[in-house]
Amino acid sequence: MKRLDYKTLLLSTVLTIACSTQAFAAGTPCDKLSALTIPDVTVTSAGQVPANGFVSPGQQAPLTLPAFCRVQGVARPTSDSEIRFEVWLPAAAAWNGKFQGVGTGGYDGSIGYNALAEGVRRGYAVTSTDMGHVGGDLDFGQNHPEKVIDWAHRAMHVTTETAKLIVRNSMGRWPDYSYFIGCATGGHQSIAEVQRYPEDYDGVIAGDPANSRLQEIAAYIWFWKALHDEKGAPILNQAKLQTITNAATALCDGDDGVKDGVIDDPRRCKFDPAALLCKGGETDACLTQPQIDGIKKVYAGLRNPRTGEPIFPGFAIGSEGYGAQAGQGWGGFLVNPKIPMRSEAYTYWLFHDPNWDFRTFDFDKDFAYALKQIGDVSSTDPNLSAFKNRGGKLLMYTGWSDAILPGEDVIEYYESIRKAMGAQNTDAFMRFFIVPGMGHCSGGPGPTTFDMLPALEQWVEKGTPPQNIPASRVVDGKAQHTRLLCPYPQVARWTGKGSSDDRANFVCKVER
């Protein structure tokens, strides 16, 4: 049994429990959980939900679920906090003895009902939070610095501590193991948990972790300027974006020895958008010189204009047009928005001025000011020793065709961890996987269907680190081909024998 260091801390938060000592030891009935009195927390409701009896807000069809206990509450760790959360508890006989926290997406203030449902189906007691606000607008943080901190990291930690206590009271014992799963903003939350609250979870999965948040927002302003003219009109359309991706894929698809419509590693691809320069007149099949110049700026990333120091990496070759139907590709975040994506974080959280003009942003002085004033919005500390030393395990992944968060940013964070902690110490608790051809958390032509939780459980509970992760490309419910996801810097390579659509014919290796 793993040592649960948070027991004493959480037990001390219980002031009154509306049940006898004997009843408590056996587990508190669901409808009695609303009687819990926890400092800075109000349990607003608790009740049983019958099998297939829950319909998510805004939906019509019920989720496929076993019967469970639904607990809702609000945490107020500061006078300006309003953190809503839910805890879903399976029947005691169906509980696997474990706890799971699930991440959110974007800047949305909402409960992740689908993720809660998946956790309960697996037998987990599971929790989700709205991170301290409602809706997707960023103006919630104007003149509310505590709400910004709640969103950045505190809400998930407070929710986690509270949820574990509710599990303890409901089930009569603490969970044996605690896991966290998130992608995108959920990946950011994963990294924030590991960095800032290493006692919260035994195992963490961090997908496409946007933990360099302030750097990313500054880069969105830079990328937007590169892909728009002086009047703010986009210089590229979706057809041209797809032309770029098609040309790059045609050139580099076979670099890994398999023709499968996927650029395995864009860093090895020698594609130059200048090869598409219009010769006669402009069409969607070619690029003008200003378009070529803008594309190269996006590939190159953002640097401090005074010092030349890198601030944020560029997007990968091949990410331009992938996933257009799902709102991914450069169109979704870089080209189509009327103003740079997420720049409102600077508008409301940094300058507190709804009339602030992003065009005036100084990538030297203003960026330094952002790091000083709202540095908690990013979680970039590479020293994860506290998490490692208590036995925690971390699986991190990203997609090469991600057009919201460049894969190179995740690579740079991983390399910073290895530099700060050493290769051997890093390998003792962490594995990092890059998914060729995957967009933002999903989508794209690569092997984007996989499940890392069983591998994480084996590592945490059995001490067996994953050698690879099986993955598939699924179309219309059928696997078109299967692959291995390999721990970085290893890559999956076809042996040359058997079908290249079968992962059994691939091996993980380091290429020099």
What is the bridge-based pairing of β-strands 68-75 and 302-303?
unpaired
* Nearest 10 degrees: Cα torsion 347, 353, 357, 362: -70
**What integer pLDDT is reported at residue 24 of this predicted model?**
37
Q: In the prediction, which pLDDT does 322 show?
A: 72
How far, CA to CA in Å, does 262 sit from each of 253, 265, 318?
A: 5, 9, 9
- Exposure on the CB side of residue 114, measured as CA atoms within 13 A: 6
pLDDT at 233: 97
CA distances from 23 to 17, 20, 34, 71, 391 (A): 10, 5, 15, 19, 33
Q: Which amino acid is at 110?
A: S
Q: With pLDDT > 70 as the criterion, what percentage of the chain qualifies?
A: 94
The SS3 assignment for 34 reads: helix
- Whether residue 364 has pLDDT greater than 90: yes
Confidence (pLDDT) at 9: 39
Give 290-313 pLDDT, tens digit per residue. 999 999 999 999 999 999 999 999
CA distance 134 to 402: 27
Is-contact 335 329, C-beta < 8 A? no
> Mean pLDDT for the chain?
93
pLDDT, tens only, 174-210: 999 999 999 999 999 999 999 999 999 999 999 999 9
Q: What is the 3-state secondary structure (H, E, C) of 300-367?
A: HCEECCCCCCEEECCCCCCCCCCCHHHCCHHHHHHHCCCCCCCCHHHHHHHCCCCCCCHHHCCCCHHH
**Which stretches of 16-91 are DSSP H helices?**
21-26
Q: What is the pLDDT of residues 141-165, one digit of tens each?
A: 999 999 999 999 999 999 999 999 9
Helix/strand/coil for 420: helix
Q: Which of 133, 116, 137 is nearest to 66 (CA)?
A: 116
**What SS3 string covers 116-146?**
HHHHHHCCCEEEEECCCCCECCHHHHCCCHH
Report the length, in residues, of the chain. 512
Tokens 């974080």 found at? 345
Mean pLDDT of 389-396: 98
Q: What is the mean pLDDT of residues 225-253?
A: 96
Closest CA relative to residue 317, chosen from 407, 386, 226:
407
Q: Are 370 and 312 in contact (CB under 8 A)?
A: no
CA distance 39 to 11: 11
Q: Before 470, cis peptide (omega within 30)?
A: no
Give tens-digit pLDDT for 5-41: 434 334 444 433 333 333 334 689 999 999 999 999 9
Q: What is the DSSP letter of 216?
A: H
Q: E-assigned strands of 163-222?
A: 177-183, 203-207
Q: Give per-residue pLDDT as tens, 127-143.
A: 999 999 999 999 999 99
pLDDT given at position 6: 37
As given in the structure block, the two tokens for residue 132 are 């301290």
Do 291 and 347 touch, CB atoms closer than 8 A?
Answer: no
Residues 6+ apart with CB under 8 A from 56: 63, 113, 114
In this prediction, residue 323 carries a pLDDT of: 52
Judged on CB neighbours under 10 Å (0-12, 13-18, 19+), 262 is buried
- Report, in angstroms and rounded to the nearest whole number, the Rg of the chain calculated over CA atoms: 24
Domains, the chain, ranges and CATH? 7-211+382-463 (3.40.50), 215-376 (no CATH)
For residue 11, the SS3 value is: helix
Phi/psi of residue 18, nearest 5 degrees: -80, 65
Cβ count within 10 A of residue 110? 20
The two three-digit tokens of residue 256, written as one number: 């890994």
Give the pLDDT band of residue 2 (cuts 50, 70, 90): very low
Q: Quick one: CA torsion of 433, 434, 435, 438, rounded to 10 degrees?
A: 130
